[in-house]
Amino acid sequence: MNGTLKFVQGNEACVEGALYAGLKFFAGYPITPSTEIAESLAYRLPQIGGKFIQMEDEIGSMCAIIGASLTGSKVMTATSGPGFSLMQEALGYAIMAEIPCVIANVQRGGPSTGLATRGAQGDVMQSRWGTHGDHAIVVMTASNNQDVFNITIEAFNVAETYRTPVILLFDEVMGHTRERLIVPEKDEIPLVERLRTSVKGGVDYHPYLPREDGRLPMSDFGGVHRYNVTGLYHDMWGFPSENPAVVDGLIHHLTDKIRNNVHTITQYKEYFIEDARTILISYGSTARSALHHVLNRRKRGEYIGLLELQTLWPFHGDLIREKCKNAELVVVTEMNLGQLYRQVKIAVDHPERVFLANRVDGVFITPTDIKNMLRLIQGRGV
């Protein structure tokens, strides 16, 4: 791969990915451990004629990016636990009004102020269900700088394709890990640009009338078409409606557009799954340790593999079941009390074979931790 070699933190790799994807507007509020994303973009965005604003809080940040996205810009915000909690209402608005945007949540220990400077993966369920009401959401993550870069680009692509918010669920360890990153040449990675309507100005444009393929071409807000955008249930004009058929149609449209495309949206990596009797399932920084352990044990002839999930939501249960069908043991390793573990248990044919190897004390799960926890699970003692 050609490109520019850099030595950066995960948070900066995310910035590089966002800029590569065409980010033009960022609004944010300082919070550990995500602040470097805002700092870096405050410097980089105006250099390309983009805009950066530090808002008065995370609520305002989320609202500002939605407003900017509507006008046609690719947008993003970044935050951590408490800030992510504050963003939930506006996140629901972006889901309802179908406004593309990317939210990076560099996870820290919660609940509340929790562990501001320590890694955690406790927002897996919040990212899925944080905003009220039935809805669909896309949540992605990665375990090394190159993947953080790539998945950030993918987040923008998915956001544009499905007119949806996409959450990048990183964690403190990943955000602050310095390692190499190659930023590829322009055009090497395909970008999805906004699908704009072909309806001419002065002609009736229906902002919420899906095409045959289910996609909704947008018209840059403030441009040649005047329309209404609302967080209420709305008709094809974007005007509020309480008509049961309209409400039912919209909620299914909003959830189906993600659920029906779970195969396309889902990204994952697998290592030695084919003949593995023990399968580790992990994501984010924890997957680094899991991979390290798997490589170590493979050298010793153990039949162990790793399934690294990069798309957490929509949850691809069929994929998990398929990959785990021959495994004697499935161990989910994550820095929480089993948020993804429970999903895996529901998905597989043999839930009794699924175990959790976790830490929730703010300490990163090391390969040795995984080794020891596996020995305990297998009844071999530490």
Partner 1 sequence: MAIKDYIRERFFPHIWCPGCGHGMVLNALLRAFEDLAISKNEIVMVSGIGCSARISGYVDVHTLHTIHGRALAFATGVKMSRPELNLIVPMGDGDALAIGGNHFIHAARRNIDITAIVMNNRIYGMTGGQYSPLSGYGTLATTAPFINIDHAFDVVELAKAAGATFVARTTTYHVKQMSELFKEAILREGFSVIEVLTQCPTYFGRKNKAGSAVDMVKSFKDNTTPVGSKAKLESPGLIERGIFVQKDLPEYTREYDKVIERAMKKR
**Given the rule CB under 8 A, which residues bind partner 1?**
24-25, 27, 43, 46-47, 49, 51, 53, 55-57, 59-61, 63-73, 75, 89-90, 93, 221-224, 226-232, 239-240
Q: How far is the CB of 163 from partner 1 (least distance, A)?
A: 16
Residue number, 101 or 306, with CB nearest to partner 1? 101
- The residue written with tokens 């305990």 in the block is 376
Check residue 234 and report its DSSP letter. B
Q: How long is the chain?
A: 382
Report the residue number, 75 or 155, with the smaller CB distance to partner 1: 75
Q: How far is the CB of 234 from partner 1 (least distance, A)?
A: 9
CA 146 to CA 4: how far, in whole Å?
12
**Residue appearing with tokens 């004390």:** 361
- C-alpha R_g of the chain: 21
**To the nearest whole angstrom, how small is the minimum distance from the Cβ of residue 145 to partner 1?**
24
- Nearer to partner 1 (CB atom), residue 238 or residue 284: 238
Give the shortest CB-332-to-partner 1 separation in angstroms: 36
CA distance 18 to 1: 19
CB of 232 to partner 1, least distance (A): 7
Considering the complex, state which of residue 211 and residue 226 has its C-beta at the smaller distance from partner 1: 226
Shortest distance, CB of residue 208 to partner 1, whole angstroms? 13
3-state secondary structure 65-121: HHHHHHCCCEEEEEECHHHHHHCHHHHHHHHHHCCCEEEEEEEEECCCCCEEEEECC
The candidate with the shortest Cα–Cα distance to 159, out of 205, 99, 212, 117, is 99
Cβ at position 222, least distance to partner 1 in Å = 5
Q: Shortest Cβ distance from residue 200 to partner 1 (Å)?
A: 13
Report the C-alpha gap between 332 and 73 in whole angstroms. Answer: 38
Distance CA 17, CA 14 (A): 5
**Token couple for 369:** 């931790």
The CA-atom distances, in angstroms, between 311 and each of 88, 137, 166 are 20, 11, 10
C-beta of 93 vs 364, nearer to partner 1: 93
Closest CA to 64 of 72, 48, 75, 50: 75
Nearest to partner 1 of 209, 377 (CB atom): 209
The CB-of-170 to partner 1 minimum distance in angstroms stands at 23
Q: Quote the Cα angle for 130-337-372, to 5°.
A: 150
* Nearer Cβ to partner 1 (68/370): 68
CB of 25 or CB of 208, closer to partner 1: 25
Which runs of consecutive H residues, i.e. helices, occur in 118-181? 124-129, 145-162, 172-176
Output 108 or 225, the one with its CB closest to partner 1.
225
| CB atoms near residue 211 (< 10 Å) | 10
- Under a CB-based contact definition with an 8 Å cutoff, are residues 105 and 127 in contact? yes
Q: How many CB atoms lie within 10 A of CB 193?
A: 10
